[in-house]
Amino acid sequence: MARNKKQKIQRPKALPPKGFRDYFGSEVTERGEMLRQIAEVYHRYGFDPLETAAVETVEALGKFLPDVDRPNAGVFAWQDEDTNWMALRYDLTAPLARVYAQFRNDLPSPYRRYAMGPVWRNEKPGPGRYRQFYQCDADTVGSASVAADAEICAMLSDTLETVGIPRGDYIVRVNNRKVLNGVLEAVGLPADDTNMRDAVLRTIDKFDKVGLGGVRELLGKGRLDASGAYIDGVGLSDDQAEPVLAFLVSKSDDAAKTLANLRDAVGNSETGRQGVEDLEKIGTLMAAQGYGSDRIVIDPSVVRGLGYYTGPVYEAELTFEILDDKGRKRQFGSVAGGGRYDDLVKRFTGQEVPATGVSIGVDRLLAALREKGRLGSVAKGPVVVTVMDRDRMGDYQAMVAELRNAGIRAEMYLGNPKNFGNQLKYADKRQSPVAVIEGGNEFESGVVQIKVLALGARLASEIETTEEWKAQPAQIEVKRTDLVAEVRKMIARAESQS
């Protein structure tokens, strides 16, 4: 049997690796345009661009990948010929730390830098979860002032409005890790009792799900969950739990009230008091620049996952509702976040360098703009000059050149010209506004035909009276010398009516 089996040619599969994808046409240009707009805002704020390579030494990357404890887990890494390990960067912050340590004597201090580009995660891909995605970061390295944090919050607000999220559809929420640490101090948990601290933080994270009463039980002896299972509690006394509960309900519409509540919650903790003071300063700086609570608010519920944050943390949330996969309404949610981290550079130099920064989730922000109908209104296909006569390619090419030189996107049909229907089908697929046709008769009479395509077809379906229809001819004959002017007119007409 085996001997009769046909020799099968092994061909490579035409697929990207699992978890990677391709971006076509407007997906590429829309992202590029958004990054350009963001860069303009960052530039105006005095931030300078930095582009590092995709590859770093594993040694330089360290093990700072969020939520991963093992070194190098979650990254794509390999050994080079000298047996050194290299890896694809998993974020833009680790390379910044390396660059700052390397060039600290030449860079201005403080150093404001922005960076945009893909990062890679060696994680299980899922729906909408890719192993390569864009990040867009801005960080200030070398400033301990909360004015640096406030500046980034203001910049984040400006950025969202610049790319097309109107005021009212987003909010920048600010908190301070020191406040949370202060609350833990007020509970009476020493800084080195990380087990208990983590247990309390995990419980705080459940506030959204189980409410204040649920948190109270979970901080104490425990509670029965919805399924009837008993969940063990953290084991705090009622007195100990009090600062945590006060913290959870501290948010008020009035910023001064929120700050007063937080001051109560942190009690005598020096760290906590300093944290509240920092938040107050940020509020004052924002107000001085005209950023009110319609744009930036103090919100104690902002925790942010990353372990390395040491001071202010902030995140931008889009507040409009969308329908999820199951048709339920929900808020769009977070599109950017960041905070203060003071330890990254220390790994290299031994010196602590204060830093604060934000990362915008570019792909999520693009999805939000698409959701709001702010992207991809009309895809601009090229004018297609068809080929009626193979021997006059030069003439067709000349038409295309004239159109291009006039700034009109245009191309000659480059497939086999034999079947004219295929040429028009091609033009439709390209979303061409018009096709240009010049056969032998037209050539001799010095005219060309201009045929209205995709946009024209859409218009036709919207036109109600015969008069209107006649005013929208699907094909007109114009003088060859008027080609550019007439094509421009027809494109403008189609655009103004679409």
Query: Are the CB atoms for 315 and 301 separated by under 8 Å?
Result: no
CA–CA separation, 39 and 46 (whole Å): 11
From candidates 37, 57, 240, 449, binder to a second copy by CB under 8 A: 57
Query: What's the CA gap between 188 and 404, in Å, rounded?
Result: 73
| Member of 414, 421, 461, 496 binding a second copy (CB under 8 A) | 414
Token digits of residue 73 = 């887990």
Locate tokens 């079947």: which residue? 419
Q: Which of 334, 397, 449, 472 binds a second copy (CB under 8 A)?
A: 397
> Which residue, 118, 143, 120, is CA-closest to 47?
143
Instruction: Report how far residue 418's alpha carbon sits from residue 296's, in angstroms, rounded to the nearest whole number.
Output: 63
Nearer to a second copy, 204 or 412 (CB): 412
334 scored as a contact of a second copy (CB under 8 A): no
Candidate ranges 40-48, 171-179, 232-240, 299-307; the one touching a second copy (CB under 8 A): 40-48
Q: Specify the residue, 141 or 184, whose C-beta has the smaller distance to a second copy.
A: 141
Which string of b and e fits 205-218 if b means at least 16 CB within 10 Å? eebeebeeebbbbb
Closest to 383 measured CA to CA, from 452, 459, 485, 457 = 452
Q: Is there binding between residue 407 and a second copy (CB under 8 A)?
A: yes
Select the residue interacting with a second copy from 224, 249, 398, 457 (CB under 8 A).
398
User: What is the DSSP secondary-structure string of 228-260?
Assistant: SPEEEP----HHHHHHHHHHHT---SSHHHHHH
Closest contact distance (angstroms) between CB of 46 and a second copy is 3
> Binding a second copy by CB under 8 A: which of 126, 228, 290, 421?
290
Roughly how many angstroms between the first and final C-alpha of the chain, as a whole number?
A: 64
DSSP-assigned letter for residue 158: H
Q: Which of 46, 66, 235, 473 binds a second copy (CB under 8 A)?
A: 46
Q: Which residues pair with 55 in a beta bridge?
A: 88
If the CB atoms of residues 26 and 240 are measured against a second copy, the closer one turns out to be 26
| Options 285, 358, 453, 459; binder of a second copy; rule CB under 8 A | 285
Alpha carbons 116 and 36: distance in angstroms, whole number: 10
Of 43 and 209, the one with the shorter C-beta distance to a second copy is 43
5 binds a second copy (CB under 8 A): no
Only one of the segments 255-263, 318-326, 358-366, 389-397 lies at the binding site for a second copy (rule: CB under 8 A); that segment is 389-397
Closest contact distance (angstroms) between CB of 407 and a second copy is 7
Of the two residues 19 and 220, which places its CB atom closer to a second copy in the complex? 19
| Stretch (H or E) spanning 262 | helix 255-266
Q: Which of 191, 212, 224, 287 forms a contact with a second copy (CB under 8 A)?
A: 287
**What's the Rg (C-alpha) of the chain?**
30
The distance of closest approach from Cβ of residue 293 to a second copy in the complex, given in angstroms and rounded to an integer, is 16
The 209-248 contact track toward a second copy, x by CB under 8 A, reads: ----------------------------------------
State how far the alpha carbon of 107 is from the alpha carbons of 42, 95, 111, 137, 349, in Å.
18, 15, 7, 18, 15
Site string for a second copy, 251-270 (x = CB under 8 A): --------------------
60 near a second copy, judged by CB under 8 A: yes
Dist CA 161 CA 158 (whole Å): 5
Closest CB to a second copy among residues 92, 186: 92
Residue 345 structure tokens: 């550079």
Neighbours of 430 (CB within 10 A): 19
Nearer to a second copy, 77 or 218 (CB): 77
Question: What count of residues does the chain have?
Answer: 498
Q: Which amino acid is at 439?
A: G
Contact call for residue 349 and a second copy (CB under 8 A): yes
Q: Looking only at residues 139 through 178 of this chain, which bind a second copy when binding is defined by CB under 8 A?
A: 140, 142-145, 147-148, 150-151, 154, 158
- Closer residue to a second copy, CB minimum distance, 28 or 224: 28
We find the least distance from the C-beta atom of residue 285 to a second copy, in angstroms, to be 5
14 touching a second copy, by CB under 8 A: yes
* Identified binder of a second copy from the candidate list 37, 55, 222, 231, rule CB under 8 A: 55
Site string for a second copy, 177-206 (x = CB under 8 A): ------------------------------
Cα–Cα dist 111/120, whole Å:
25
- Measure the CA–CA gap between 263 and 276, rounded to whole angstroms: 7
For residue 274, count CB atoms less than 10 angstroms from its CB and return exposed for 0-12, middle for 13-18, buried for 19 or more.
middle
Q: Residues 84 to 143: which contact a second copy by CB under 8 A?
A: 84, 86, 88, 98-99, 101-103, 108-110, 112, 118, 120, 122, 131-132, 140, 142-143
420 binds a second copy (CB under 8 A): no
- Residue 118 or 164: the one with the smaller Cβ distance to a second copy is 118
Query: Please, what is the minimum distance in Å from the beta carbon of residue 75 to a second copy?
Result: 11
Token couple for 110: 């403080």
Which of residues 90 and 247 has its CB atom nearest to a second copy in the complex? 90
Could you tell me which residues come within 8 angstroms of residue 304 by beta carbon, excluding any fewer than 6 positions away? 313, 315, 337, 339
- Map the footprint of a second copy across residues 456-485, applying CB under 8 A: none
**Site for a second copy contains 377 (CB under 8 A):** no
How far is it, in rounded angstroms, from Cα 459 to Cα 456? 5
